[in-house]
Structures are given as C-alpha cells and as structure tokens.
Structure 1
Amino acid sequence: MTTTTSTTVDLDELLAAARALSLAGRWDRAVRLLDATTCDSSVDRARLALAAAEVALQSDWFGGTDLTGARAEHAEKLSSGADHDLAFVRLRHDYFRLLRSEGAFRPGPDGKDPEALAGLRRRAHDLHEDAPDEVRRGWAAMYLGLIADNLFAERTVAPAHYEAALRAGERGGDDLLVREALRHLGDHDHDAGDHDRALERWERATALGARAGMVPGVLTQQLLLAVLARDSGDAAGAAVLAREIARWADAIGADPVRAQATGFLAGADPTAPPQDSGS
C-alpha cells in the first residue's frame, strides 16, 4: 500500500533542488519532484511547469530524449502572459531541433529552412533587446552567437556575442553562462591554432561546470581537453580520457555524450567547424 504524506517546502528551495538534480543528469528524479509538488497559487504552478520544461530541455540535450515540446506547451497554458524565460526555453529547443537534423547533429545552413533560421535569429535578438536583466541578456547573446556559429556557419560573427555573454556572466555571477561562453570562445581559439589559449579557457570552463554540479557538461568539457591532448601528440592519454568519458556517460544515460566520446575514439573531431553552404 502506498502512503501519501504532505509537507510544506519553500518553493524557491524546491526549484533549486530540481535544477541541481537536472544539472547532475538526474532528469527523471527532477521531473518527478516537480510533478509531485502541488501549489494553490496559479503563479507557483506556472513556475513549476517552467522548471519542468527546463529540465526536459536538459534531458533532451544530454540524454537524447524528446520531452521539451510537451512540457513547454503545458507551461504556456499555465503562463499568465509574456514570459521571457519560457520564450528562451522555446528558443533553445528550436535551436536544438534545427541543429539536430535527421537524428544527428548537422551544423551549418544546408538542408534547413531559411525562414526558420531567420526567425530563430530574430527571436534571439528580441530576447536580447527585451531581457529584464544583464544575465538574461547575456544568455540571449550566447544564443545569438550559437545561431551564427552553428546554424549560419558565420564563424567571424559569433565570437563578439560570446564575449558579450562572458562579460554578462562574470558581472552577474552566473558560472554556467561563463562556462558556456568560455567553451565556445575556446573552440575558436582551437580553430585558430592558439591551443594554449584554448586550454586555458577550456580548463576554466571545466572547473566552472564542476562547481555548478553539471555532470554531463563536465564530461563534454573533458572531451575537449582530450581533443587538445590528441592535437599535442598525446594520443594515448586522449584515448584514456575519452574511454572514461564514454563510460561515465553510459552510466548516467547521457547517450549523445557517450556517442561523441566513442566517435572521438574512432577518429572523429567533435570541434570540427560547420561547413559554409557554398563549399
């Protein structure tokens, strides 16, 4: 027999706990915690639904699920009006879907709807202009960079957006935004042949992800460190690290991360830039 009990928990603390579980790769547990929570306030129910959509997005990205669409629709039904954070979830989800064409990550504009690409960039710009604070503006700048980099293959355009995101994250104390900006700025350093600068940025990004408890994100960062190890001639060390990344990713159900690590072991370069549509 199942016994149901109730208790009172501060909603901010509960949402923080669910976010921590999600960052650690415990997406199912995070969603169950949110779904098991009841609130009398319609505002609080909307906050729970938004948090569940954010967890679903993490699960889709790192765990290979397909949960965000339904969760975001539910959050929209409970929202009382324009919601910047929910619009940002939608933006990130649509970016992910455009990037992940035909079941695999396919950077660049080839094979993608030009109107959808233009619309996504316009929405990111609007979120940047309408952001209620500096950190949210920084996250919108981050996605303006990602959209330019990975969907339009505009490699010279993206770094300025990443730099703006980095400044916003550092001023606002958002470790995850700083991590994200460093991750992609380091990618540009790597492509430019400045491996020392890439290493500095990627090591810092790895530490920030660890401090935030972002287990799958730490694994993806470590894979970038494996790339640098292989580039520097330490193929054996790179392989050892990649095998550990694959093992850890498999253990937590982060299938896309595991696939990246095994692809690296087979010789793939996860930092390969998108190809221009005319090439």
Structure 2
Amino acid sequence: MTEILDRSGTSITVPTHELVTAARELSQAGRATTALALLDGVRATDPADRAHIALAAADVEMQRAWFTDFTGVPARLARAEAMAAALDPDATWDLAFLRLRHDYATLILPGGHFTPGPEGKDPAALTELRHRASDLRDTAPDGVRRGWVHHYLGLIADNLFGEPEAAFPAFTAALEAGDGHDDLLTREALRHLGDHAHTTGDHDLALTHWRRAVSVGARGGAVAGTLSNLILLVLLARDMGDEPGSRALAREVARWADAIGAPRLAETASTFLPEGDPERR
C-alpha cells in the first residue's frame, strides 16, 4: 500500500499496483509529467513498494523520451536499479527489459538522431544487446512479455544489424503474442510489419497494417503512439500519389503533437510539408 497526501495534508492510502497502473496509463495518454508528479508525490514505507514505484517512474520517463529526449532516463533507471533487491521476480525481469530498451535507444539514437544500421557502432555492443534480448525472451514470465522481447529482437535485427529477413518473423511472433492480449504490443508489431510491406512495395498490405495499428493504439490509450502511426499514413498517402491528403494529415499530426508536448513527432510530421507552410518547423 502507498500513502498519498492531498492538498490539505490528508493522507489517502491506495494499493501500489493501482497507483502504478494509473501512472502508466496517464503516460500513455500523453500526461507523463502528471504521471511522474503522482509517483514522486507518494510516500511508501515498504521497500518493495518504493522499488515498484521507482521502476514505474523509470518506465514512464522511458515512454516519454521517445517523443522528447532521453536526458531524464539514466537517473530514473539508476534509482530503480539501486532498489532492485526489493523487487519480485517478475518486476526484476521488467527492470532488465527496461535497461535493454534504454540501451537499444542509445544505439539507435546516437546524439539524438535516428541512425539505423551497424556502421559506426561497436559490433560487440550490438551482439551483446542481441544476446541479452534472447536471454530475456527465454526467461519471460508470460507470453505478452515474451512478445515484447520478440518485438525488440525485431528492432535489433532490423534497425541495428540491417537484417530484415530476421526481423520479420520476430515482429510476426510479437503480433501473435499481443493480438487480443495487449493493444500496445499489437500496435507496435503492426507498425513494423506494415513497414516491411511498404518496403517491398505492397501498399495495400501496409495500409491494412497501419490503419489497424492506429485503431488498436487508440484503444490502448497510446496518444503519442497513435500519432506516430498516423505519420506512416501520411507517408503512404504521399507514396500513393495523394499529396494534398498527405499534407493535410501531416498538418493535423504536427498540431496535435505540439499540443501534447511531443516535439520529435511534430518535427517528423512537418517534414512532409512544403517550405513556408505555417505548420513546418
């Protein structure tokens, strides 16, 4: 149980699990600042509760970082790792997976810029990350968590090693694990399977995957994630010859991304707009 103080100083006791779930859902809804304020404002005496709250805060910071920047992640992650001894086995696995996600981000976004492929990266670091992901897949406590690691194995193969042939079955396994069980995992898998279809020129299949990714992402409460999927529809509209439709959707995505404080998304959306457009950054 965790204690929260309201503005009058009155304490309210809530189950830690409910607190953590609420914070993560706030984060998915684009309210990471509120989620972190909630987690940072509680008072927990039990070491396990404090450790789970620190883990949740690191997870929220990591989710936000993809759409802003990663400067706040290392401190949050270090705090959670310092309390790792108090975590139960499932949460210990979650912490190791969070570290993997951060290390992947460090390798794919050197200097804050998306840089795919193995060129300029330490081969030993790439191999170690892939091995660590394989170990996490083999020790996952349940099918959904295993699906998330399949997803990251796909990202590692696709974006770090440049091996789409190895990535495709990993994304397929992630979709199978998430479908009907985890909308956020399903969204991610569909996003990347759609990318594979788009790369091979199958625009109809890409459209099917990306449209469904938008709907399941919205159902899962992923506001920024849903906007990122809409950018893929912007890309597809342009590639299929609908330049006016592409620009119109890009303007709206840029406007929405600005409104929720997601500058990376706003900048990406604006790249589909002509110079001089009021929504271009």
When the two structures are superposed, what TM-score results if normalisation uses the length of structure 1?
0.92
Name the SS of the counterpart of 1:7 in structure 2.
strand
- Aligned with 1:199 (options 207, 213, 216): 207
- Alignment partner, residue 61 of structure 1: 66
Paired with 1:235 and 1:163, the residues of 2 have a C-alpha distance of 31
The aligned counterpart of 2:78 is 73
Q: In structure 2, which of residues 208, 220, 223 is the aligned counterpart of residue 212 of structure 1?
A: 220
8 A Cα contact 2:108 2:114, kept in partner: yes
Deviation at 1:264, TM superposition (A): 2.6
Which residue matches 2:11?
6
Deviation at 1:3, TM superposition (A): 4.1
Output the CA distance in 1 between the equivalents of 2:15 and 2:49.
Answer: 11
The one-letter code matched in structure 1 to 2:36 is: V
Report the Cα offset of residue 27 of structure 1: 1.1
- Report if aligned partners of 1:64, 1:255 keep a CA contact under 8 Å in 2: no
Q: Which residue of 46, 50, 55 corresponds with 1:45?
A: 50
More divergent stretch after superposition (252-261 vs 142-151) = 252-261
Identity across matched positions, percent:
54
Aligned-partner Cα distance in 2 for 1:65–1:79: 22
CA contact (8 A) 2:210 2:233 kept: yes
Q: Is the 8 A contact 1:56 1:67 kept in 2?
A: yes
Do 2:69 and 2:112's aligned partners in 1 also have CA atoms closer than 8 Å? no
Output the CA distance in 1 between the equivalents of 2:208 and 2:267: 26
Inter-partner Cα distance in structure 2 for 1:102 and 1:33? 30
- The alpha-carbon deviation at position 153 of structure 1 amounts to 0.8
Q: 1:5 deviation in Å?
A: 2.5
Matches within 5 A, 1:1-279: 3-80=8-85, 83-170=92-179, 173-265=181-273
Cα shift at 1:97: 1.0
Aligned residue-pair number: 265
Q: Secondary structure at the match of 1:157?
A: helix
**Partner secondary structure for residue 214 of structure 2:** helix
2:246 and 2:272 in contact (8 A); partners too: no
Separation in structure 2 between the aligned mates of residue 69 and residue 266 of structure 1, nearest angstrom: 37
Offset, 1:266: 5.0
Q: What 5-or-longer segments of structure 2 have no aligned partner? A: 1-6, 276-281
1:273 matched residue in structure 2: none
Provide the residue aligned with 1:271 in structure 2.
none
- Alignment-mate amino acid for residue 167 of structure 1: E
| SS of residue matched to 1:63 | coil
Deviation at 1:103, TM superposition (A): 2.4
Shift of 1:26: 1.1
How much does 1:10 deviate? 2.2
**Matches of 1:7 and 1:66, distance apart in 2:** 32
Which range moves more in the overlay, 112-121 or 59-68?
59-68
Flag as ranges the 4+ runs of structure 1 deviating above 2 A: 2-5, 264-267
Give the Cα separation in 1 of the matches to 2:102 and 2:273: 29
Q: Secondary structure at the match of 1:107?
A: coil
TM-score, structure 2 as length reference: 0.91
5+ residue gaps in structure 1? 268-279
Letter in 2 for 1:185: L
Tell me, yes or no, if the aligned pair for 1:64 and 1:254 is still in contact at 8 Å: no
> Higher RCO, 1 or 2 (CA under 8 Å, sep at least 6)?
1
The one-letter code of the counterpart of 1:158 is A
Alignment partners' CA distance in 1, 2:272 and 2:10:
48
